[in-house]
A and B are shown apart, each in its own frame.
Chain A
């Protein structure tokens, strides 16, 4: 459905159709609204879980960055940690040496730095098979880790970056021991990034990505500049991963070589596989499930938690990921139908109230 609308010649009438279709698709569904209301409500609902929620929000943003390239452009990567790490160190260093004190500005700058690295390395991942890509991306992040280890006078080497002092956000809200402000900060950043990502994937650009994921050759044949589209999305994804990394450094006031580790990238892949790819929420839901599952099991059995996580993964595959996703989709469908029904009842009233629910 998507590819046909992109491949057909755009006669004026059809162009209108496509525009309408895009607009219809990009509208926020009731379920999404509920999701975000719940996400923000968690600030008041789970006051004793801020720390893990904060980590979850960062992981979710990080997974979102991978979903952009894996779910929408079909690029499989084990190297997102490179961007996560470089931005983590960048934001830590600018804060440590007082170059950029305002965390929000530092965050954006870190994202830009990571995106720049993404742009440069994107040319490496355009070639080769899945496995080659996996290894090249992994190699890049491991090499950066070695570089950070080498220049220990700047990065602190294996001891981690010490003495990072993060100024209060917007000069008002400092990161407290309870992780409250940290979580709120991360959640807001996650939401903003999510909205941006959503705009990207529902734009014509996003559609063209899907088409070239489906069939790159055909996409090229109808005039989509495959290479540059991939470069663009890879760069954007790197920027998002970078923002996630900078968030981690800012909220923990610390950064160590582990930001570049294979485990970080591999966990990400697991998160995305658990949550599902290609609908943006996969990373978010996967992050919540993975993080809480891990925390719960690790608290029960600190030494052997890996066994149970492993068992869960094996069972997921053996039962069939499609089947699990099918259940999720079915559940989503029924909830969505319920939501739609409620929505249609509320809608006339909310429309009368000024159309606030209609979106822009």
Chain B
């Protein structure tokens, strides 16, 4: 019996060794783009906007570029990072995608970064907005924005326009901290005061107690960052607490006056001032055409900054393919993307050749009513803003 056991263990060990032998894979001829988006769960509005925009690009520009047929694959990760990672791996190994794109939240983008490096596949971040993302892999390029990009101009504007005391309120995760840090540093450097920094959980049903706390400091304005899709509740409760009547302003990156939700928020939101990279009201022929086509294709849904991120992401991938003449290896593609510049619906944008992050205009906007609809109306432009954290303009 003993001998039998021993033999069996040996066999098992040999079997295990055989099982660990690795396999390889070959690349297919067509170009595949794998979008990983939160189509269900709390961030699902992001996914819906992005998917719609990517499909719109395909409908407008055809599925052939540089002689290659392009296939768009959209997968749902429900904004759960380990899902994202598994799906990304699956897309790389089984679908043999040439691009990974999307990523609704920062942790999802970060989770995939090591895979992009390992597989030498470009990872196009079209939604998540934390500064560090692009530093995590040389194959990452971004077409969305960074929070610091709009928070710093916001701080400048506030300091120049008689706002002296601000309470910051941000969601407790990386983009929130980025927004808060960059705003606070710039604002205090310009002589402003910040008596209280409030963070609240990402999934948060009731803002009232946090707002009460902020109100007790009697600030001139509240600087707020909430993830795309939650801005409405915040503003509703802000008004309900009577803070608008107390003369407190809402300022912040444009997530809080998300175009997707703005119309549902009602009149109380009028006059809110935000700094952001895109407004559906942006006055350019490119944007008018984009908004009209998007609304037509999606039953009247208005595109927001997430949609434009995905649209530009598609543009970037198409343009890179054209520039490489259809070469699909990651190194050529990412090299082609560096320094690329074009006119987006949001205005002129380019990809920073050093950081692979986006350089774009930031607009200061005010919520106004136009033809019975609420819009973020742009009234000041800060041209060609680089990500302030990576550019080292704030310490």
Q: Would you list which residues of chain A between 215 and 257 have a CB under 8 Å from chain B?
A: 248, 252-256
**Are the C-beta atoms of A305 and B40 separated by less than 8 Å?**
yes
- Answer yes or no: B381 CB below 8 A from chain A CBs: no
Q: Is the interface of B mostly helix, strand, loop or mixed?
A: helix
In the complex, chain B residues 1-29 whose Cβ is within 8 Å of any chain A Cβ: 1, 4-5, 8, 15-16, 19-20, 22-23, 25
Q: Which residues of A contact B92 (CB under 8 A)?
A: 177
B19 touches A158 (CB 8 A): no
Q: Are A178 and B40 closer than 8 Å at their CB atoms?
A: no
- In the complex the two chains form, is A302's CB within 8 Å of B76's CB? yes
Which 3 pairs across A and B sit closest by C-beta, in order of nearness? A158-B173, A302-B76, A160-B107
| Complex interface: chain B residues within 8 A of A258 (CB) | 80-82
**When the two chains form their complex, are residues A184 and B39 in contact, meaning their CB atoms are under 8 A apart?**
no
Contact A173 B20 (CB under 8 A): yes
* Residue contact A149 to B172, C-beta cutoff 8 Å: yes
Interchain CB contact under 8 A, B81 and A51: no
Q: How far is the CB of B375 from chain A (nearest CB, A)?
A: 27
Asked whether B119 is an interface residue with its Cβ less than 8 Å from the other chain, the reply is yes
Interface pair A360/B20, CB less than 8 Å apart: no
Does A181 belong to the interface (CB within 8 Å)? yes
CB distance A47 to B23 under 8 Å? yes
Q: Are B93 and A178 in contact (CB-based, < 8 A)?
A: yes
A270-319 with Cβ < 8 A to chain B: 298-299, 302-303, 305-306
Provide the A171-203 mask, 1 if CB < 8 A to any CB of B, else 0. 011001111110010001000000000000000
Query: Cα distance A50–B22 when bound, in Å?
Result: 11
Q: Tell me the bound Cα distance from A195 to B93 in angstroms.
A: 32
B86 near A51 with CB under 8 A, answer yes
B202 at the interface (CB under 8 A from A): yes
- Bound form: Cα–Cα A200–B83 in Å: 33
For the complex, is A136 an interface residue (Cβ under 8 Å from B)?
Answer: no
Given that A159-B173, A181-B22 are known contacts, is A256 also in contact with B48, CB under 8 Å in the complex? no
Q: Given A159-B110, A254-B82, A298-B75, are A303 and B93 also a contact pair (CB < 8 Å)?
A: no
Contacting residues, chain B, for A51 (C-beta < 8 A) = 86, 89-90, 93-94
In the complex, are the beta carbons of B85 and A162 less than 8 A apart?
Answer: no
Of the candidates A177, A259, A355, the one whose C-beta lies within 8 Å of that of B119 is A177
> Which residues on the B side are within 8 Å of A355 (C-beta)?
4
The answer to whether A302 and B202 touch across the interface, beta carbons within 8 angstroms, is no
Q: In whole angstroms, how far apart are the Cα atoms of A355 and B86 in the complex? A: 43
Q: Are B106 and A55 in contact (CB under 8 A)?
A: no
- The reply to whether the CB of B392 lies closer than 8 angstroms to some CB of chain A is no
Q: Are B20 and A181 in contact (CB under 8 A)?
A: yes
- Give the docked Cα–Cα distance between A40 and B18 (Å): 11
- The CA-CA distance from A55 to B75 in the complex, in Å, is 17
- Judge whether A52 is part of the interface by a CB distance below 8 angstroms: yes
Q: Which residue of chain B has the shortest Cβ distance to A259 in the bound complex?
A: B82
Q: Which of B4, B5, B37, B119 is packed against the most chain A CB atoms within 10 Å? A: B4
- Contact assessment for A178 and B74 in the assembled complex, using a CB-CB cutoff below 8 Å: no
A188 CB → nearest B CB, Å? 6
Contact between B4 and A356, CB atoms less than 8 A apart: yes
Tell me, rounded to whole Å, the shortest Cβ–Cβ distance linking B91 to chain A. 10
Contacts of A160 in B (CB 8 A): 81, 107, 110-111
A158 close to B8 (CB less than 8 A): no
Q: Is B299 an interface residue (CB 8 A)?
A: no
Tell me which residues across on chain B come within 8 A of A181, comparing CB atoms. 20, 22
Alpha-carbon distance between A149 and B90 when the two chains are bound, in angstroms: 29
Instruction: For the A-B complex with A52-B90, A158-B172, A177-B118 known, give 10 more contacts whose Cβ atoms are closer than 8 Å.
Output: A158-B107, A159-B173, A160-B111, A253-B114, A254-B85, A259-B82, A298-B76, A303-B39, A303-B76, A305-B76
Decide yes or no whether A128 CB sits under 8 A from chain B. no
> B201 an interface residue at 8 Å Cβ cutoff?
yes
CA of A49 to CA of B19, assembled, Å: 15
Given the known inter-chain contacts A179-B93, A181-B22, please indicate yes or no for A158 contacting B202, CB distance below 8 A.
Answer: yes
